[in-house]
Structure 1
């Protein structure tokens, strides 16, 4: 059976649990056991060294209450957790799949144990009949009846856990699909907004201003889109749990407590923010418009790199950024052609 947590994932999940509330080490172990429906519980030798490493890195800190260390997440820990919301959503789905795999293994173990027990009981009954020891045979028969009832109960519980894990995994996939649809709609909205601004200047014959404002608007839309995606991912991931009975707070615009996508409402969009100084019409003009355009593109690239370095980039944001850049490149290239 594969490990429950891949390399580095338990560390991320400990940050999530401490982001929910301060906890001591024993409470964290019991909480993990509850969220795996009793099918998995990490040892103290697994959890405490990782807590010590997180504290050494400044991501968590501890206080002492009643002789116990109570761990709490720090601002640096929250920053790392916010930058890894995409990984956290994948981890929630992996946990559900792990629960399903553990339940399947338990069912196989129960079937194997029940088969062995049947063979042992049959052999005992055969020996008892040969020895004409009726009381011993009756006792073995009663043992078999009790073992059979116990096996049925274990099989029923394993089947229920498997069904619940499949349902939660299906809901997590549906939430991921809703998040993708939301991101595509944001890209289309931003593209229409930038196109309208550029075309307005083109109609007036002012193509240098149209290029400058188009690049500026694209930069603002990138910033606004990243802020909305990060805010929605944090809100969706904070409410979900890893247990088979809860639903994951998947990253997306509709992330609510365990029912992401159920209401279909969108969070208010934050303002795009002021245009950069370099994007104002007429900023740092020279006698060479082509050289001015090169400078505009350099400043635009520097702003995007700074934002990526400061806030990080998720896989979804990278895909949407590629779409924005391709669209802007096509539009500006068409603008610079003769007759554009």
Structure 2
């Protein structure tokens, strides 16, 4: 689970989503994925245990509809939301910042990935126009837009960015730890650049 949802914050956000109406677990996963613009989605193994815990605490109830459990917030759950309204506002702000960070990171990495691939295509095109034999396509040619592998890469990058951003914003890292984290990130980016050249 990402740091933005650490310390019971996912539990609080699930209550907020259920305050808008009854939902089954996969609807909640989709709503969270939409909130993160498709760049992060929690697993069923993350969501359902929290829903069960909320039910044990009397904050939600479920009914079976079409073979699925549909969860609904109780009055106790609504009271919890009212008590924690300030915390919920902070959480919304943190999510917005995480989405912004995810989008910026994905765009930066995307340009790093697309740039070398574009350069290779341009070199092959120039060779063809000059009448020469085009070089064989590289074995690690960039996947086409929309490929499942590229989508998986984007999803993992987004989850990584949310978690790291949340850890940093949590204020638990010392200046030395932040400097080390920056060096680690720079090293990872440098490694990807070398890989793609």
| Cα distance per residue 1:69-113 (max 9 Å; x no partner) | 000111221121111011011111111111101111111111111
C-alpha distance in structure 1 between counterparts of 2:28 and 2:3, whole Å:
19
3-state secondary structure, aligned to 2:71? strand
C-alpha distance in structure 2 between counterparts of 1:123 and 1:76, whole Å:
65
How far residue 36 of structure 1 moved from its aligned partner, in angstroms, is: 2.1
How far residue 40 of structure 1 moved from its aligned partner, in angstroms, is: 2.0
C-alpha distance in structure 2 between counterparts of 1:114 and 1:44, whole Å:
33
How far residue 122 of structure 1 moved from its aligned partner, in angstroms, is: 5.3
How far residue 4 of structure 1 moved from its aligned partner, in angstroms, is: 3.9
**Please, what TM-score do these two structures have when normalized by structure 2?**
0.61
C-alpha distance in structure 2 between counterparts of 1:126 and 1:4, whole Å:
48
3-state secondary structure, aligned to 1:14? helix
C-alpha distance in structure 1 between counterparts of 2:54 and 2:116, whole Å:
46
Distance 1:129 1:27, change over 3 A: same
Aligned length: 141
Higher relative contact order (CA closer than 8 Å, sequence separation 6+): 2
Task: Identify the residue that residue 97 of structure 1 maps to in structure 2.
Answer: 97
How far residue 38 of structure 1 moved from its aligned partner, in angstroms, is: 1.8
Task: Identify the residue that residue 80 of structure 1 maps to in structure 2.
Answer: 80
Task: Identify the residue that residue 113 of structure 2 maps to in structure 1.
Answer: 113
Task: Identify the residue that residue 273 of structure 1 maps to in structure 2.
Answer: none
| Cα distance per residue 1:127-162 (max 9 Å; x no partner) | 86899226x79x99xx99x97xxxxxxxxxxxxxxx
Distance 1:4 1:108, change over 3 A: farther
Task: Identify the residue that residue 18 of structure 1 maps to in structure 2.
Answer: 18
3-state secondary structure, aligned to 1:15? helix
C-alpha distance in structure 1 between counterparts of 2:73 and 2:33, whole Å:
21
Task: Identify the residue that residue 8 of structure 1 maps to in structure 2.
Answer: 8
| Cα distance per residue 1:208-232 (max 9 Å; x no partner) | xxxxxxxxxxxxxxxxxxxxxxxxx
Unaligned runs of 5+ in 1: 148-340
Task: Identify the residue that residue 33 of structure 1 maps to in structure 2.
Answer: 33
Structure index of larger Rg: 1
Question: Is contact 2:4-2:91 (8 Å) kept?
Answer: no
C-alpha distance in structure 1 between counterparts of 2:127 and 2:83, whole Å:
67
Write out aligned runs for 1:1-340 (5 A). Answer: 3-121=3-121, 124=124, 132-133=132-133
Task: Identify the residue that residue 311 of structure 1 maps to in structure 2.
Answer: none
3-state secondary structure, aligned to 1:69? strand
| Cα distance per residue 1:271-306 (max 9 Å; x no partner) | xxxxxxxxxxxxxxxxxxxxxxxxxxxxxxxxxxxx
C-alpha distance in structure 2 between counterparts of 1:116 and 1:29, whole Å:
35
C-alpha distance in structure 2 between counterparts of 1:113 and 1:4, whole Å:
27
How far residue 28 of structure 1 moved from its aligned partner, in angstroms, is: 0.8
How much is the aligned-residue C-alpha RMSD, in angstroms?
A: 3.3
C-alpha distance in structure 2 between counterparts of 1:100 and 1:130, whole Å:
44
